[in-house]
Structure 1
Amino acid sequence: MDAQFQISTDEKVINPVCDFTQSWGVNCGLTTGDALRFSVALSELVTDIILFAFPDDSNQNFEIKFFHTFSHVEIVISELGEPFDPDRHTYDAQNALTEGNFDGAGFLLIKTFSDEFSFINKGKKGKEFRLVKNIEVHDIDKLLELSAEQRETKPDSEGDQESTIKLEEFTVSRIKPEDAEDISKLIYRTYGYSYNVEDLYLPKKVEESVLAKDKLGVIARKIDGEAIGYFAVIPKDNSRIAEVGEAVVSPKYRKNGVMSSMMEQLIEIAESKNLSMLFGEAVTVHPVSQKVNNKFGYKTAALQLASSVNVKYKGFDEDYSQPISMAMDFLPILPSHDKKPVYLPDKYSDIILATYDELGINVDPQKVTEYHLAETSDIDLKINYSSYSSLIIVENYGNDFISELSELVDGLEENSPETILLDLPLENSATPEQLHNISELNFIYSGLLPHYHYDADFLRVQKVYSDIDFNLIEIYSDFGKKIKTFVADEYNNNPERSQKS
């Protein structure tokens, strides 16, 4: 998060907030025009909140949060003002012309000046608005727009060759800011412009992330200094685990043990940083990445359906007929000595315990005798706009959990998601009964996420809106296939699937 403000319901705050938004947008990479339009959209929304959400009270506050990534900027506004139904405030051009009724014009302007605009009704916790503007990276846009065939001619021709150069010696060392340009060149020379992490093509972005310690990585070089491999993991911001996110070895130097050497050093770095686990998401369009993970000891612990859409994977049919699913693979780094108490829902107990055993993690399943709920639930929401998916993270249950979750799901469904993920804490004694209580929402199993949030274990369940053909989902490991079968059975027997068919 870049910034967070508590804003008073005083119209005098509108101009300063918009001035900040415009400057912030430009600094994040928006063009001057896009930053101006985005600030106008925010101005309209803030004005509507001040005038209509709190019509009789000017002594209230609401919250604005600012986020940015390489590809987009996002503003999240949360307020506890009067309820309203956006469907009853749609703009009608004819009414505006004949009757002077401009109701809904503000929302139309906001949608026009934003690339994504969503409204989520959170019940007793008020309303949430999310505005997103995509960042155009003009110096690589034309290259990224090339067809997959054009982009992949070079990598495919090189990748099909056997290793032609035998290395007697190479070095592997921690990445430094001055390695940034070599990393970008290595990615380009290996993948052309088909690699899915776009900021790796911009040396300045790579340098910034290394300086900010946003990633832990290593680079492999020949004795003459030529970069031949790069491997990095991205630490999670709320737990002592890291995601294997970026890996490349120059095609002509493959089969020299470069990847293995880099992985070994990354594990040593992870241990020195006191990280408990590494994890990676492996596509199920093909088993190649899963095979690599399996080679290094990763174990499949979850299957996440419909994780991404409109994604092209090098060397495979671009017309894949359904959203891409992901196998979530985990590699424990630090051994677990003490048995942690966990509270397992009966219907998932066997598969979760088998997953713990596969990972070599000792747990002590507890019988629930009683539990206490907080007054209000502690729930976090993350939205991935590019994949039309959302993640709901439950940190603590409150008396309002069922109504809170139901309202949140209803609000998200208005934006036509592909999938909604729900992470439930397994070290909370309320989880078994609360999962049972939300059975009508028709979430199904996804898997076990060890140490995933707040260094605690979570059960991930998923609500899937896409039609999934499990014959198209390839899983490499035997245990991963058991998870696939379990998920497929629950998906096919889900009441919502029966209604559709």
Structure 2
Amino acid sequence: MNGQIAGPPLSSVRLRIPACMGAIAYVQHATHWFVEQAEMAERQSFAINLAIEELILTLLRHAFDGGSEQGDLEISIELHSTLLRLEVACRALPFDLSMVPSYQPGEAGDDASLSVLLLKHMVDRYHLHNGGRDGYRILLEWLRPLAHVEEMDHSPAPEGAAVQADGPVDPIAEIRPLREDEALALSRLVYRSYGYSYVSDFLYYPQRIVARLQDKTLHSWVAVSERGELAGHAALMSSGPGAAAVEWGIGVIDPRWRGQNLLRKLSAEVTRQAAETDASILFVHAVTNHPLTQKSGIRLGFQVTALLLGFAPADLEFRHIHDQLSQRESTFIGIRPLKPLPKQALYLPARHADTIRLLATGAGIALIEATALTAHPAEDAVTAFDTLIEPSVNVAFMNLASAGAELASSLAAERRRLCREKVDVIYLNIDLSSAYAQYATEVAEADGFFLAGLTPMQPWPYTLTLQYLNNLDFDYGAIHAVGEQAEWLKTLVRQEQQRVSG
């Protein structure tokens, strides 16, 4: 799943200033103009100023050794249609938030821990990227105050939101792209099926739907009744034009129109349009608390290649389909190749080589295995992760950008940091075209990560995904698996979890 997506900024500024206490007021002042343009409330403006103060204080304490180290802060401020983004980059002492212990109320001299605690609670999203020799970047984002569907629509909820309508419903007239002026109608449609539990909460903010349509990160198709009512929806989601992978999703049918094969018809149109994009892979997150999404995926030619445990919160609900979940929702990743993947020599971890071959063959992906031996990282290499926390589902994605001799300690430190952030699941992605892929997999499994599967083009053409559960237990019996491949993969993932946990 992609993180918060935003198109080109409406306005932006870039600054380079010395790392010192005076930088706090300077950055706050520079950000204030963007806050005013975004029409953010005084409470949100206060949170932004506090986050800036605590971030710079934290950097001065740990990256600049309390001021004894000299250097600059590179500041980027961008205003997008749906959010305000602040990025701070610097090249200073190696640093990550795992260096800061958890805040303990009442303990003296705990200012550093309090700063980090306040920082986390003053933003909608933050992202720390360690670039090794290139330094690191800290990204903060705040959502703009856009109207929620409840504020825009004061009419009573339609009867279909609570019970299925009696008698015949209006016939479907056409399937076509969603218009921007139908964003509120889409929000209402999502409510009919999910209440307010849908994972992607931008769907409850019509202006955010419009922004994504304009940014080309969302391409929506709807089934429209003869009276103009939205009866169903399906979409393609991506990071933007030119994305290597696009996601089929937001398949929603109004309960009053279920049983008419609308989702199949909408999905056929979506997959046809996907083939005309630049993407090499079309993928889907198929939920496992009921079989419907998996069955739809099979009919559309998706092949299961990964099982992501606990991907979505337990409060995900499907009105008229299933009761509240007893555990976090797991999803099968199904893929459908749209174009051949780039030809690369691959270093398959020995323990998982047969599994990777089977998953790839089933999905129609050709593998070119390297003839050279796998290798440990070069002595002068530095470990770097690109880590993203996705607050809407409370999971983290770690891309192993490079591996150094200290990989084991760096991975353990990053994993501990994310666990202290209280994310529920950590997904670790390893590039199989890297000669150190086997070594990295062994190191990760020694740290408690276990197999999830193959996730092509997310982010690399041939990506192996492992997963780590932060004090979660799963009842595999509650995970519905449709088809032999899904059943086999569910069993394998369970076995791998048991093997790694010892």
The alpha-carbon distance between structure 1 residues 337 and 418, as it changes in their structure 2 partners (threshold 3 A), is closer
Q: Which moved more, 1:299-308 or 1:393-402?
A: 393-402
Aligned residue for 2:329? 324
Q: How does 1:370-409 map to 2 (within 5 A)?
A: 373=378, 375-409=381-415
**Alignment-mate amino acid for residue 33 of structure 1:** R
CA distance in 1 between counterparts of 2:127 and 2:100 reads: 8
Q: Which moved more, 1:289-298 or 1:482-491?
A: 289-298
The Cα of 1:322 is off from its aligned counterpart by: 2.7
Q: How does 1:295-306 map to 2 (within 5 A)?
A: 295-306=299-310
**Alignment-mate amino acid for residue 87 of structure 1:** P
Counterpart among 151, 155, 160 of residue 161 in structure 2: 155
1:61 aligns with 2:72: yes
1:292 aligns with 2:300: no
Aligned length: 477
Q: Is the 2:148–2:206 contact (alpha carbons within 8 Å) kept by the matching residues of 1?
A: no
**SS in structure 1 of the partner of residue 456 of structure 2:** strand
The alpha-carbon distance between structure 1 residues 448 and 271, as it changes in their structure 2 partners (threshold 3 A), is same
**SS in structure 2 of the partner of residue 322 of structure 1:** coil
The alpha-carbon distance between structure 1 residues 404 and 62, as it changes in their structure 2 partners (threshold 3 A), is farther
The alpha-carbon distance between structure 1 residues 64 and 485, as it changes in their structure 2 partners (threshold 3 A), is farther
The structure whose residues are more often helix, as a share, is 1
Q: Is the 1:151–1:193 contact (alpha carbons within 8 Å) kept by the matching residues of 2?
A: no
For normalisation by structure 1, the TM-score amounts to: 0.80
Q: Is the 2:381–2:402 contact (alpha carbons within 8 Å) kept by the matching residues of 1?
A: no
The Cα of 1:17 is off from its aligned counterpart by: 1.1
Counterpart among 17, 28, 46 of residue 56 in structure 2: 46
The sequence identity of aligned pairs, in percent, is 18
CA distance in 2 between counterparts of 1:119 and 1:269 reads: 32
The alpha-carbon distance between structure 1 residues 234 and 401, as it changes in their structure 2 partners (threshold 3 A), is same
1:266 aligns with 2:270: yes
**SS in structure 2 of the partner of residue 330 of structure 1:** strand
Q: Is the 1:301–1:449 contact (alpha carbons within 8 Å) kept by the matching residues of 2?
A: yes
Q: Is the 1:446–1:460 contact (alpha carbons within 8 Å) kept by the matching residues of 2?
A: yes
**SS in structure 2 of the partner of residue 402 of structure 1:** helix
User: Which whole-Å deviations, capped at 9, do the CAs of 1:17-47 have from their partners, x for residues lacking one?
Assistant: 1134455456668532122133123213314
1:469 aligns with 2:475: yes
For normalisation by structure 2, the TM-score amounts to: 0.80
CA distance in 1 between counterparts of 2:158 and 2:292 reads: 18
1:184 aligns with 2:190: no
User: Which whole-Å deviations, capped at 9, do the CAs of 1:277-334 have from their partners, x for residues lacking one?
Assistant: 211112222222212212211111111112233423124333x443222211112223
**Alignment-mate amino acid for residue 61 of structure 1:** D
1:208 aligns with 2:211: yes
The Cα of 1:361 is off from its aligned counterpart by: 1.3
CA distance in 1 between counterparts of 2:18 and 2:60 reads: 8
Aligned residue for 2:366? 362
**SS in structure 2 of the partner of residue 232 of structure 1:** strand
Aligned residue for 2:355? 351
The Cα of 1:337 is off from its aligned counterpart by: 8.4
CA distance in 2 between counterparts of 1:132 and 1:199 reads: 15
CA distance in 1 between counterparts of 2:79 and 2:479 reads: 33
**SS in structure 1 of the partner of residue 357 of structure 2:** helix
Aligned residue for 2:222? 219
The Cα of 1:246 is off from its aligned counterpart by: 1.5
The alpha-carbon distance between structure 1 residues 174 and 420, as it changes in their structure 2 partners (threshold 3 A), is same
The Cα of 1:58 is off from its aligned counterpart by: 6.7
Aligned residue for 2:3? none
CA RMSD in angstroms, aligned pairs only: 4.0
Q: Which moved more, 1:391-400 or 1:111-120?
A: 111-120
Q: Is the 1:298–1:329 contact (alpha carbons within 8 Å) kept by the matching residues of 2?
A: yes
**Alignment-mate amino acid for residue 332 of structure 1:** P
Q: Is the 1:300–1:477 contact (alpha carbons within 8 Å) kept by the matching residues of 2?
A: no
**Alignment-mate amino acid for residue 362 of structure 1:** A
Q: Which moved more, 1:123-132 or 1:14-23?
A: 123-132
The Cα of 1:446 is off from its aligned counterpart by: 0.3
CA distance in 2 between counterparts of 1:26 and 1:403 reads: 44
Counterpart among 436, 440, 446 of residue 430 in structure 1: 436
Q: Which moved more, 1:178-187 or 1:49-58?
A: 49-58
The alpha-carbon distance between structure 1 residues 440 and 248, as it changes in their structure 2 partners (threshold 3 A), is closer
Q: Is the 1:72–1:134 contact (alpha carbons within 8 Å) kept by the matching residues of 2?
A: yes
1:229 aligns with 2:235: no
Aligned residue for 1:174? 177
Counterpart among 485, 491, 497 of residue 485 in structure 1: 491
The alpha-carbon distance between structure 1 residues 413 and 68, as it changes in their structure 2 partners (threshold 3 A), is farther
Q: Is the 1:299–1:329 contact (alpha carbons within 8 Å) kept by the matching residues of 2?
A: yes
1:413 aligns with 2:419: yes
CA distance in 2 between counterparts of 1:195 and 1:249 reads: 13
CA distance in 2 between counterparts of 1:195 and 1:92 reads: 39
Q: Is the 1:340–1:362 contact (alpha carbons within 8 Å) kept by the matching residues of 2?
A: no
